[in-house]
Structure 1
């Protein structure tokens, strides 16, 4: 009888930092390698070494390229990993863009903190550098969606399209006759840009995300809400700031706004996209047309309708532009990036509107805004917030409770165990009850750093 140890090194009891380590005598695999975001006690763990020998890891399998699934890779390599980092071609391209951007922001913020002396650390240091990222990229190796990969004599893996963002997949690992399925982040059944997620038909052990395990997305008329907010912005001669995740959400917003203009539902209000990373992701949409719904003509027309901001000087020009305007800027949880400059300069005006369009993790500035914060700490100083706040949950790239149940409902067998991951505790508790009621499956909510032993 062979033995498998599963180490829950992240994405356990929390939405961020996904890392699931599979340890056998034959092969050692890390599924995802993400950074923690949000709560300070979680973010501190980004600075700590993993409690396993990373030099032994043979493969990292990436479900997709978001920071909370790939952002720890430069540190993994710095600490001795020399195996292969496998993912679909668009996932690896997205991961490269996100890691390079992450390192750049960290280096810039460390430099700013040292210059303005607002950090408790002396000196303030970046978590990793652009040089660290460049070295980590040497271990990237692309795979084809649906292709069977032999990882060892008794271990195969396959990656299947699951929506969420461009390149995103769930992963099946067949190990000594047992199938482990890692959902990654499951996309929506109906999405403006992406096709519905494919579904697994068999799982002996299922590791499923539960970000929205406790709720359904509201049935919102997104076009109607956007139209109303834009008319209000025009009437007040203000600014509509939309903090956005640079991958898929930003492109989806661009597409929605372009469609509204094309249908004469909104006037030709200036729209600025200020996200160097988001601009780079647009190139990924151009390079991988088979991974999304946009035609080349739609892509071209959408890009031509919107002003892409590249330099920081242009950010200030956009802020100083007195016309009513829409600004879409990273990051989606208001944790960093160019959106901080806009909120710092314009957030204390009652003519400003801030529209949040995705999940906001605990202790992020986005969550604080949702909870009614009247000030935000930005670059070491507290900024008063007088802007009106709106939240569009239906624009989330994550499947809700009903869509997650539909996704796993295609599994023909009864899994030996279902592990609920990538969710806040309350959401997972609700989702656990729902799965047990619907399928009568054995569910477990693993704790951070828990080790589960499976006999194969």
Structure 2
């Protein structure tokens, strides 16, 4: 007797963000990731819609990792009636907890500010979810270990496999009636500063693979040399270097590189300020889970001692008012919110300021606008002229590039029945589809948002 599985592409399909993939079977309904859409307004508006499936019938959520575009919709899922377990590795759930609480706090503060200053088109503005709703969601978290097959039902088992990218990140293998589904999550790079190389799958009947950099190879620029040059230029100009940064992994990597450059006498002892409450919490996750990264404790402690960690908004303003040249690393990485907005509001109109972008900038974000040369930028309903120099450091991406992605598939012994390209913009998806065909002679498909596939298992 044939068994069937329905796959519903509820996010990260034809776009990068909003990862959500539902597998419906006669035994269990499994949601892989539950992320928010980010970037273009038309995408962000999708976050406010209920899912197009019966949420109460979802049995379990499996998380690849803790980034907002993979976990940020969870409180809305719970609000719509999801009662099951939300399962991930211990560091992933620690990161997800930090991100959900921080996101909820920002949601509440921005709604309050929008209502107070009346720059909202909604009356009144309401938070996407509240701190109370985030905490209720976290109560449904359950840890499973990496590398071990876990029984979900009579004919379904799953396993988390180490994947680099950020601390705790995994790809997920699900075996159903002898067929294997592999969800890549976000794949890390080899030779990462802080993380080990990703593991790779050995079998995949149905492969769901991210394509963020499916059309690109990362620059082979010398990251340390370029960063040192930018810092020295900043000091000569008596200016400020502002680095919008993702709080998870990118911030810790930057801290480590800056410490390394100072230790090797490649930069002077310029003050470094870390202004990211969430980033500070992530540092604690690194301390708690030493087996998930390769930074020795003594290096970790030395790196933390080398920087000034800002604890309050009052200190943010004291840092801005301090006229001495400095480096400020602040969230968020795509300049969509967080403390970095305060610094840019005050300093982006000064020619001595340099803004350094150090990660992927999604369409529709302020980071992408800056990267593409916008002459003015909007914060909280007002426009500010961009007179600062805007630079990009490409070598720090935590995502695999096209060659890394191809290499990640190299140990798959069979020819997959289906390869689905997800988590990419249209040009990246199509270029990666062609590359897979040329390399492995596999036919890959690019599912559309809200599309449904039925497969035999």
TM-score (normalizing by structure 2): 0.99
Task: Report the equivalent of 1:231.
Answer: 232
Distance in 1, matches of 2:131 and 2:296, equals: 34
Task: Report the equivalent of 2:325.
Answer: 324
Give the gaps of 5 or more residues in structure 2.
Answer: none
Task: Report the equivalent of 1:454.
Answer: 455
The Cα offsets for residues 132-186 of structure 1, whole Å up to 9 and x where unpaired, read as 0010011100000011111111100000000000000000000111000000000
SS in 2 for 1:105: helix
Question: How far did residue 442 of structure 1 move?
Answer: 1.7
Task: Report the equivalent of 1:200.
Answer: 201
Task: Report the equivalent of 2:386.
Answer: 385
Distance in 1, matches of 2:291 and 2:235, equals: 37
Task: Report the equivalent of 2:312.
Answer: 311
Distance in 1, matches of 2:177 and 2:395, equals: 41
Task: Report the equivalent of 1:221.
Answer: 222
- Please say if 1:212 is aligned against 2:204: no
The Cα offsets for residues 309-359 of structure 1, whole Å up to 9 and x where unpaired, read as 121111101100111000000000001000011111000000000000000
Question: How far did residue 383 of structure 1 move?
Answer: 1.1
The Cα offsets for residues 194-229 of structure 1, whole Å up to 9 and x where unpaired, read as 000000000001000000000100101011111111
Distance in 2, matches of 1:67 and 1:379, equals: 22
Distance in 2, matches of 1:48 and 1:213, equals: 29
Question: How far did residue 131 of structure 1 move?
Answer: 0.4
Distance in 1, matches of 2:15 and 2:103, equals: 21
SS in 2 for 1:90: helix
- Displacement over 4 Å in runs of 4+: none
- Please say if 1:168 is aligned against 2:155: no
- Residues 179-198 of structure 1: pairs in structure 2 closer than 5 A: 179-198=180-199
Question: How far did residue 393 of structure 1 move?
Answer: 1.4
Task: Report the equivalent of 1:6.
Answer: 7
- Please say if 1:340 is aligned against 2:341: yes
Question: How far did residue 55 of structure 1 move?
Answer: 0.8
- Please say if 1:366 is aligned against 2:394: no
Task: Report the equivalent of 1:275.
Answer: 276
Distance in 2, matches of 1:31 and 1:220, equals: 35
Question: How far did residue 25 of structure 1 move?
Answer: 1.4
Question: How far did residue 86 of structure 1 move?
Answer: 0.4
SS in 1 for 2:48: coil
Question: How far did residue 410 of structure 1 move?
Answer: 1.0
Task: Report the equivalent of 1:111.
Answer: 112
How many residues are matched?
456
Task: Report the equivalent of 1:301.
Answer: 302
Distance in 1, matches of 2:376 and 2:281, equals: 32
Give the gaps of 5 or more residues in structure 1.
Answer: none
The Cα offsets for residues 374-427 of structure 1, whole Å up to 9 and x where unpaired, read as 111101111111110111111000000000000011111100110000000110
Task: Report the equivalent of 2:19.
Answer: 18
Distance in 1, matches of 2:40 and 2:190, equals: 30
Distance in 2, matches of 1:196 and 1:402, equals: 14
Distance in 2, matches of 1:410 and 1:220, equals: 29
Task: Report the equivalent of 2:136.
Answer: 135
SS in 1 for 2:173: strand
Distance in 1, matches of 2:395 and 2:418, equals: 30
Distance in 2, matches of 1:248 and 1:143, equals: 22
Distance in 2, matches of 1:252 and 1:76, equals: 32
Question: How far did residue 244 of structure 1 move?
Answer: 0.4
- Please say if 1:376 is aligned against 2:377: yes
SS in 2 for 1:418: strand
Task: Report the equivalent of 1:124.
Answer: 125
- Residues 147-162 of structure 1: pairs in structure 2 closer than 5 A: 147-162=148-163
SS in 2 for 1:348: coil
Task: Report the equivalent of 1:287.
Answer: 288
TM-score (normalizing by structure 1): 1.00
Task: Report the equivalent of 1:431.
Answer: 432
SS in 2 for 1:415: coil
Question: CA RMSD for the aligned pairs?
Answer: 0.5
